[in-house]
Each structure stands twice: as structure tokens, then as C-alpha cells.
Structure 1
Amino acid sequence: MSKGVLLVNLGSPDSTDPKDVKKYLGEFLMDPRVIDVPLWARTLLVKGIILNTRPKKSAAAYKKIWWDEGSPLIVLSERLQKKVAERTSVPVGLAMRYGSLSIKKGLQELHDKGVSEVLIIPLYPQFAMATTETILVLAEELRKEHFPNMKFTDIPAFYNKEEYIQVLSNSIAEKIKDLDYEHLLFSYHGVPERHIRKSDVSNGNCKMDGKCCFKKGSVQHEFCYRHQCEITTVQVAKKLGLKNGTYSTSFQSRLGFDPWLQPYTDRTIERMGKEGIKKMAIVTPAFVSDCLETLEEIAMEGEEIFHEVGGKEFTTIPCLNDRDDWSDILGNWVNNWVEAKTPVLK
């Protein structure tokens, strides 16, 4: 079998034109693993309300962060793809779950190169229904319909892998080493609480009180997004030698009125400013590539909130993007799979 790799990230509109943004949002928000309500309700919400109000606002936000080369997420992902390809002997493709750079196109390009066994790498450190799961489900649907002779292997959530924790810690340390910051906030993308319950394979043991996140050996941890975020924070804090009280975890980007994972990032930033914190840094470990949520929601809106309540210095830490050490890790994972030295990430 000829092997190949497909890196998969979230996606982006083709441009900042409201029409392109509307098309992208429509595909994204109609995914039943993103807005997991009955089709009629999702259609009413997305096509009847959101797509008639949000595209112009989102387009304006994209314009703030758009690069000359295009979408930062796409450009950074392409740079990462190139570096990973330089570190391995097999074809390395790139796809997005949403948008024109589709998973189908990525698989077709690998197929056309003679690839019959694909290592799918969802570029998400933590597992979630709306990220890793939707990628793998769609890939399998496409395999059955269009690529029946292909074989898929995927890399599981790598939130607690030593090499990932090390490179994430390195990226943070490089940014804060000369900062006199008072608090480091780990902000993860939020999900509705019901997503945690739906991913709970322990038949309801998760009480959504945060306590089970830190219990060792809990079977639900393999698919519990909240646990994986909390443990990412704990392991990085340990690696960096952070003192209790100088760091915390929060969740951003909530949508609608249902309860989402808390505490919320925007309210946490506001609270800290009101409590007298003057200098804070913020890192977004749910993303490996900078995008709208990191460059606009955090670096712009978050800073504005902080300054409005009296904060002075607000430092955002870049995602791993195309760092050489991050590219080395992905290259090593690919090579281990190609050479079958060890099971993937085991």
C-alpha cells in the first residue's frame, strides 16, 4: 500500500466578501455536530436567522485580520503542510472541514498520487464533537462513497502527549520570558455543555461540576473535551513552573442561549481587569493555527475589554502555527506511522 497524510483544519471563507462568508457560515453551522439540534430547528436558526444577520458582521471581523496572501488560517496551514512534507517521504495533503479546500479534494489529490492508505491528522489537540469527530465522520462517509479502496488511520487527541506539551510550553515561555505579567489565561474554544454529555461514554458519570476532569483513569476522558482542556493547562503550568493563582482556564466563542462551558473568556478578562490585574497574557491551546478566534476575538476584542476595565498590558501568545519544533513533531508522528515502528501516538 502507498501511504500518504492528510492534515485537516477548520476552514475559512474564500474572501471577506459577505457572500463568501455567508456560504462558509452556512456549511459550518448546518453541520449537525456543530449545532446539534433537529434539522428543522437548525435550518430555522441558521438559514432563517443567523445567515440573515451575521455574515456582514463576520465579514467585517475577517477584514480586520485578513492577510495579503489570504486567510491567516489557510496560509499558516499551508506553511505547516510544506514543512511537514519536508520532514517525511510520503505525500502530505491539506484539507479543511469547511470551505472550498475540502476533505474530498484533499483525498482526491492523494488518490491521484497513488495513495491508498491515509493517515488523517485532525489539527486539534483536544477531542470534540464539533472538531475531531466531524472530520472523521465526514472522511469515512467520503471513503465509502468515493474512495472505497482507501484505508484510513487517524491520530487521536494529543493534548497530553509529552512532545506536544513541551512545544506548547516552549512557545509560551518564549513570549512571556521578559514579561512582568500577573496572570496567564488559557482560553479554549467553548462548546455547549450538552456536547460534553453526548460524548460521555461512561453512561452519565460526568456531572459537569469539573471534579471528574481530574480523576485518574476515568473512561470518559478519552472523549471529554473539558477534561482534555483542563489537563492541557495543568501539564503546561507544571512544565513552566507556574504558581497557583497565576494562571487559569476559560472558554471562548459561545453561541446562543444554552449553557456553554464556563468560565467564559470575555467575562474572565473583564473580571480580572476590575479586580485590579493590570498585566495579563493569554494563550489559546485549542487552536494550532491563528485564525479569526485568536486574532480578532482574543487579540482585538479581548484587549479592548481589558483596557475598558482598567487593564494596561494585554499580551496574546501566538498559536504553534508553522514553528519548526511543531513541524518536527508532526513529521516524527508521520514517520513512525510510515515505518510502523510504533502505533501512532502510543
Structure 2
Amino acid sequence: MTISTTARYSALRRVVVSAFSSPIAAVLSLLSGAVMIVVAWNAFRWMVLEAIWPWQGAALCAEASGMCWPFIVEKIRFILFGTFPYEAQFRPALVSILLCAMTLLTCRQMLGKSPRLRVNQMVGLWALGICLSFSLMAGGFLGLAPVDPVRWNGLPVLLMLSIIAIALAFPLGVLLALARVQKSHWFLSRFASTYIEITRGIPMLTILFVGIFVLPLLLPANTSISPITATLTVLVLFHASYFAEDVRSGLLSLPTGQSEAAQSLGLPYWKMTRLIVLPQAIQRCLPSLVNSIIGAYKDTSLVVVVGILDLTATARMSFGDPGWRAYGVEAYLVVGIWFFLSSAYLSSVGKRLQKNAPR
């Protein structure tokens, strides 16, 4: 082997060693890259090169092997809003935009970006946004026709059940975590521990069935509750237990000197918790907390089992027509893209929060 060949071999080996931890890792990475290239090429060919575009007409979809874009154009409103009255679908569209805007605003507040609002202002905006969302969907005021909750379908239902449930479950989870770790009131600690362990030990579907079929029976006579409200209540109570354990892990990771120093300065419990303990605890538990939020957001699709038609259910219904039964992949592609983009955004916010957290 000549000197130049030896030098090239050594340089190549240094590159491989710096890029991969071991030869097995290098082989697996290269194989994964090759598979991803093949999958990406086939997806591009199906979605673009062999696709039937909207201006070509839906009749050509039966003979083509690519994606049928006319199906998306024809069924996109049904996928997004389901059986909500067609002439009033601007209302669920406004609700979806409102909830997405509230989420973006909250994420910007967490990242320290403008507009900067105080906590009480954010709480007030969320209370107003939740009330406005239910009012727009229900109607019955300002000339808006009333719509039965049974016809609330698609994207707004997904956002209402996920975003509102997370927004209400997080503060409840914080209170449960604080109650579980405190040692002054044993009853609160035992109650929080029992509630968290029981809720985390029961499958989500079981709790959903209890909320839909048992909760209405526990209400006073002549009192009714819509399936959306019952499901939202159950999701808040369920997700709060998971958020509580995430926050508790952050609380337990704090050195005891933090609270002892605050107590030595004469700070009352709630002021010490709000200004010193909770900010540090939440920063420490951000990875698990963001993971729980994304999981709670995606798990909302399980409500279809109890008869609530979210985005996944309306996508399945969209290709139920005899003329469109072959295009289920196109319908679920819309759902997959939505969940991928929204979950990726939440994940990026969590990474930036962790990166910007003081060490």
C-alpha cells in the first residue's frame, strides 16, 4: 500500500470514526439512509410525478397509480369540519384559527417573545377564548343558527378537546404535584397520591367510557351534559395526573436549599412556590413535560371510540362514498400532515425552552 493510499485510508477512517460511534452504527445508519431515500423517492413519485392534479379531472384517478388531488379538493371541507352545516362552516373555521392563535401566543410567551403579557392577562384571554369557541360552535346568539353538538366534527373538535384539555389540565397537575410533595398536610398528600396513581393505572379508553356513559347518570335529575363537555372533563382529569408526575419530578430534583433560603427570608409558601420553586422545577422537567403534552395532543384521537368524530373520524368518513372508496390514503395523508406539523412545532418549542433555560 503506497503512502498516498495509506493517507487516504486514514483520512476516510477518521471521517467514519468521527461520524459514527462504531462500524455497526455506520452500517445501520447507511442502511437507514438508503431506506429513507427509497421511501422519499416513492412518495415524491406518488404525490407529484404520477399524481392526478385538480385541473385534470377526477375521472382520471381511476386509471392513475398516483395521488388523486381532486379527492382532496372535493373532500377537504368535509375532512376538516365533518357534518357541521355547510353554510355555517365559517364558525368552526374561526374556532380552529382562534385556538391555534391562542396556542401560538402562549408558546411565544413561554419563549419570551412579544407581545409580552402578564399571567392574569393570559388566563383571561384563555377564558375568553374557551367561552367564545363553545359559543361559536353552539350558536343561538347574534343570529347564528344553533347547531347540535352531535354535528361538531373534525378539526375544531380535535383542537377543543386537546388544546383546552391541556390548558386546563396543566394548572390542575401543578396543584396535584404540590399537594403530593408537601409534608404539612398529610391528607392532601395522600389524596393527591391516590388520585394520581389510580388515574395513571387505568387505561384512557376506560375513563372515556366512564365519562360518556356514567358521568351523565351522576348529575342531578333533568340535567344533561353534551358528549363534548363530558369528554373534555374526563381528558382534563386524566391528563392532569400525568402532568402532576412530570412536575413532581422537577420539584424533587431541586436542592432543599432553594426552599430553605426562601423561608429564611420570610417568604410565604405560595410566593416562594410561585417565584422560586415552580420556575426551576418546570425548567428541569421540560423534556418529559413536552413529551406528555404531545402525547396528550395525539391521544385525543381515541375519542372516536366513544362516538365523537374528530379529524381522524371525518377523514375515514370522507372516502365512504362509493365513488371515492379507493382514496383512503389521500384522506389519512391530510391527517398525518396536520399531526406531523403541529407536533413538530410543539417539539421545537420544547427544545428552545430547554436550550434557553438557565443552567
Q: Structure 2 length normalisation: TM-score?
A: 0.22
Higher normalized helix content (fraction of residues): 2
Query: For the pair shown, which has the larger CA radius of gyration, 1 or 2?
Result: 2
